[in-house]
Amino acid sequence: MGAASTTDQAVRDLAAEILRRPPYARWRGSGDHFFWDWGSHLWVQHPGLYGVLVVVTAVICLLLVWQLVTSLPAASLAPRERPPEAGLALAPRLALQAEALAGRGRFLEAAHLLQVAAIDLLLRRGRLHLSRFEPNRTLRRRLGGARLPPPLAGELVRALDELEVRWFRDRCEDRDLYLTWRSVHRRIETLPELA
């Protein structure tokens, strides 16, 4: 063997000897037993501190379980949709915003706001059942079964189709589309609330 391999072996032997010394030997385990070794050392050397640690851990676990047990039933009983009292002024506010946008020539956004306002009115008046974030195809299907006068339901579906084309494909301003949605929204405003 050459001088380099002897030197390498000597370094390895010296490193092994150093790692066998007490200050380093206890940290040379696999690492999996560190927590258990530390816990047993704490149990033997400081039993009072160990007991406090166990009690605190148990209390934290119990509090977490209690929080889970109390919050799940409350969450399952919470209303999934916004109650009618919350945001009563949504449709009128949206209609005012739409009017302001239309005044600035932003007819597409104005029509979209009137669509949201019209759907909000239909939901609040009990004429349409729709969950949040359902797509327009579901809205169209539900409008077929909605308690609306047939001409209004048809006009609503046509306005919805036209807005969808303008919004997602053309992205062009259309004053007539805005006027259609304004007319639909005003007719929905006149509908009485159903039980």
pLDDT of residue 82: 52
Q: Residue ranges of the domains in the chain?
A: 8-74, 90-189
Residue 4 has pLDDT above 70, yes or no: no
Backbone dihedral region of 105: left (phi > 0), alpha (psi from -120 to 50 degrees) or beta? left
pLDDT of residue 166: 87
Residue 194 has pLDDT above 80, yes or no: no
Cβ-proximal residues to 178 (8 Å cutoff; 6+ apart), any chain:
98, 102, 107, 108, 110, 111, 114
The stretch 114-135 carries a mean pLDDT of 83
pLDDT of residue 180: 92
149-168 per-position pLDDT tens digit: 878 888 888 888 898 888 88
97-121 per-position pLDDT tens digit: 999 999 999 998 999 999 888 888 8
pTM for this model (two decimals): 0.53
The stretch 65-91 carries a mean pLDDT of 69
Residue 5 has pLDDT above 50, yes or no: yes
pLDDT of residue 1: 47
Percent of the chain beyond pLDDT 70?
84
Name which residue leads in pLDDT, 59 or 84: 59
User: Per residue in 118-146, is it b (16+ CB within 10 Å) or e — as a string?
Assistant: bbbbbbbbebbebeeeeeeeebeeebeeb
Name which residue leads in pLDDT, 48 or 37: 48
Name which residue leads in pLDDT, 77 or 150: 150
pLDDT of residue 61: 95
